[in-house]
């Protein structure tokens, strides 16, 4: 029996799956972990305790199910949140917690400096994006300028997938899709590191991973990793990718004209293109394989708002109870309107100093009203992104939703109602499934053309249709949503800076 193992490290858990050669689910496991927020605007994780131990524990749990043996594993695929910045010393030991993706907005001064010095035309041509909290390059510069004692000992700064693949194989790799996230230090036209900019802003001496496609074989599981995980020594490991792309693979949403929407702790968007374009808002770079391109965007908070609602209201039940309360609140949340910018915002406003706001509170506001307003606020943000994407790409075809947020019915229904468009939901899948499928391609167990069929077989797709009865209401509230940000933006920036 041939088995493929996929591992995805998300914001709040590490998910692992084992898939058989016909695309059947053999085993799955999940290891919860936390996101550290040491101060407003920061988002960090411990690379050893969270990243590596999450992978090792999750894979061991797969084997503990007793449904397959280590020698049956043909290949391993890994994805993580991206792009992240982890400083490592000469012996590849972490020097500080990893700085996470766009939800960490600490490097605003470095973003402004790099944008002023490099100019938008250069960034568009060579990096495929304006700089924002999503870009890892400014965070690398932040490490040098704000924590010089750490930077003096730093020999590498890597992301999660690169780090975990190294822990498994001893090799350093980064995939073409994720690499532009390290703007401005990765050059898209040459698919290589920009050594001139690296030396100008970070100095000499840093070591950088090799660049490959996500399905390239990075190396084989080494003895130490085999002992920690239970994997057989010599098992191939692919280069891997970012969690959003792996999730898009698992949702059968990496063909042109699809718009993939990942419902997670944040929201991520990927539209696969057949040719590159320049965008003043979104991130453009290579796609999953040669000859494809990806337009990507992301909102900073989504599922994390659900956790916040539960925490501040001291909700002791499970998420199902909380969502049931939200379902009893009508469309419009009894007059509440919420801006979901609790950790700044990525696309389309590119405003790391944006802040959350709740308008319309009254003494009759319930816990369910507040959660529904949060879900509606995220949905308005999704609509804002979809409209902005289609302004640049033209009308898209199917909207495909996946991730933890589509496991229930309320949230994706609200999004479809706000968009006024149907969605194909893929509730039975995950980025870990995409990792396993990509690993199968990497060792030639599957042809790339079979990925969509295998993903659909695993995911059990369903459709959600918009309710035309609420379209006028949500059109009005969406206009108010856009106005609320415009009106409160100056005050939000003052509060952020204070």
Average pLDDT over residues 207-219: 98
Q: What is the pLDDT of residues 423-436, one digit of tens each?
A: 999 987 899 999 99
**C-beta of residue 153 within 8 angstroms of C-beta of residue 89:** yes
Q: What is the pLDDT of residue 315?
A: 64
Q: What is the pLDDT of residue 397?
A: 85
Rounded Cα gap, residues 249 and 431, in angstroms: 8
**C-beta of residue 94 within 8 angstroms of C-beta of residue 79:** no
Tokens 């396993």, residue? 436
Q: What is the pLDDT of residues 452-463, one digit of tens each?
A: 888 888 888 999
DSSP secondary structure string for all residues of 47-114: IIIIIIHHHHHHHHHHHHT-SS-GGGEEEEEEEESSS-BEEE-TTS-BSSPEE-STT--TTHHHHHHH
Question: Worst-scoring range by mean pLDDT, 92-106, 162-176, 307-321?
Answer: 307-321
Residue 484 structure tokens: 């609320």
Confidence of residue 316 (pLDDT cuts 50, 70, 90): low
Residues ≥6 apart with Cβ < 8 Å to 293: 272, 273, 274, 275, 276, 277, 284, 285, 286, 287
Domains contained in the chain, CATH given = 3-244 (3.30.420.40), 253-425+467-498 (3.30.420.40)
Q: What is the pLDDT of residues 162-176, one digit of tens each?
A: 999 999 999 999 999
Residues ≥6 apart with Cβ < 8 Å to 100: 11, 35, 43, 44, 45, 81, 84
**C-beta of residue 386 within 8 angstroms of C-beta of residue 259:** yes
Rounded Cα gap, residues 101 and 80, in angstroms: 10
Q: What is the pLDDT of residues 214-235, one digit of tens each?
A: 999 999 999 999 999 999 999 9
Q: What is the pLDDT of residue 414?
A: 97
**C-beta of residue 166 within 8 angstroms of C-beta of residue 115:** no
Rounded Cα gap, residues 347 and 228, in angstroms: 39
Can you point out the beta strands (E) in 233-377?
A: 236-238, 241-242, 259-263, 267-273, 283-286, 293-299, 337-339, 357-359
Q: What is the pLDDT of residues 36-85, one digit of tens each?
A: 999 988 999 999 999 999 999 999 999 999 999 999 999 999 999 999 99
Residue 413 sits at the vertex; the CA angle it makes with 409 and 415, to the nearest 5 degrees, is: 130
Q: What is the pLDDT of residue 199?
A: 97
Confidence of residue 318 (pLDDT cuts 50, 70, 90): low
Residues ≥6 apart with Cβ < 8 Å to 432: 6, 7, 8, 15, 16, 17, 28, 79, 246, 250
């Amino acid at each position: 029996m041939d088995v493929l193992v996929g591992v995805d490290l998300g914001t709040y858990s590490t998910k692992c799956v084992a898939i058989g050669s016909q695309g059947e689910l053999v085993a799955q496991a999940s290891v919860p972990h936390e996101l550290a927020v040491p101060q407003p605007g920061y988002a960090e994780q411990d690379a050893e305790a969270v990243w590596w131990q999450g992978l090792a524990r999750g894979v061991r749990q797969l084997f503990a199910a007793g449904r397959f043996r280590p020698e049956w594993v043909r290949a391993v695929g890994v994805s993580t949140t991206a792009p992240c910045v982890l400083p490592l010393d000469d012996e590849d030991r972490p020097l500080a917690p990893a700085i996470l993706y766009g939800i960490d907005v600490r490097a605003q001064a470095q973003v402004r400096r790099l944008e002023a010095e490099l100019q938008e035309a250069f960034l568009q041509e060579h990096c495929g994006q304006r700089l924002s909290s999503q870009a890892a390059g400014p965070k690398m510069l932040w490490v040098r300028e704000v924590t010089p004692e750490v930077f003096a000992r730093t020999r590498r700064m890597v992301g999660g997938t690169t780090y975990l693949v190294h822990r498994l194989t001893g090799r350093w790799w980064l995939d073409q899709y994720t690499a532009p996230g390290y703007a401005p230090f990765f050059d898209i036209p040459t698919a290589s590191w920009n050594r001139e900019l690296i030396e100008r802003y970070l100095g000499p001496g840093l070591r950088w991973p090799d660049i490959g496609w996500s399905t390239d074989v990075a190396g084989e599981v080494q003895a130490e990793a085999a002992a920690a995980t239970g994997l057989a020594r010599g098992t191939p490991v692919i280069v891997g990718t970012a969690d959003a792309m792996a999730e898009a693979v698992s949702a059968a949403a990496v063909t042109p004209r699809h718009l993939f929407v990942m419902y997670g702790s944040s929201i991520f968007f990927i539209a696969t293109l057949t040719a590159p374009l320049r965008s003043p808002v979104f991130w453009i770079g290579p796609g999953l394989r040669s000859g494809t391109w990806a337009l990507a965007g992301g909102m900073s908070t989504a599922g994390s708002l659900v956790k916040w609602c539960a925490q501040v209201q001291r909700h002791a039940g499970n998420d199902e109870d909380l969502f049931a309360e939200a379902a009893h609140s009508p469309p419009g949340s009894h007059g509440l309107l919420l801006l979901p910018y609790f950790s700044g915002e990525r696309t389309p406003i590119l405003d790391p100093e944006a802040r959350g706001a709740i308008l319309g509170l009254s003494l009759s506001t319930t816990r369910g009203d507040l959660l529904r307003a949060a879900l509606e606020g995220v949905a308005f943000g999704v609509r804002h992104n979809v409209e902005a994407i289609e302004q640049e790409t033209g009308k898209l075809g199917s909207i495909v939703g996946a991730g933890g947020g589509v496991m229930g019915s309320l949230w994706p229904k609200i999004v479809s109602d706000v968009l006024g468009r149907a969605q194909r939901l893929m509730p039975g899948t995950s980025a870990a499934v995409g990792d396993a499928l990509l690993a199968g391609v990497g060792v030639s167990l599957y042809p790339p053309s079979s990925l969509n069929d295998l993903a659909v077989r695993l995911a059990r797709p369903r459709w959600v249709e918009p309710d035309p009865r609420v379209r006028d209401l949500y059109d009005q509230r969406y206009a108010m949503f856009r106005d609320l940000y415009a009106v409160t933006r100056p005050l939000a920036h003052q509060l952020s800076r204070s």
